[in-house]
Amino acid sequence: MAQRFNVQEGQRYVQRLGLHYRPSIWKVGSIKAGTTPIPHALLINVDNPLETKTISCPTLADRIYYELLAESAAAAA
Using CB atoms within 10 Å of the CB of residue 65, give its burial: 0 to 12 exposed, 13 to 18 middle, 19+ buried. middle
- CATH number of the domain where residue 66 is located: 2.30.30
Structural domain for 44, as ranges: 2-76
Give the global pTM: 0.79
The answer for residues whose C-beta is within 8 angstroms of residue 54's C-beta and 6 or more apart is 32, 40, 41, 42, 43
Mean pLDDT of the chain: 83
CA pair distance 64, 1, nearest whole angstrom: 21
pLDDT band at 74 (very low <50, low <70, confident <90, very high): low
Domain count for the chain: 1
The predicted pLDDT at position 2 comes to 46
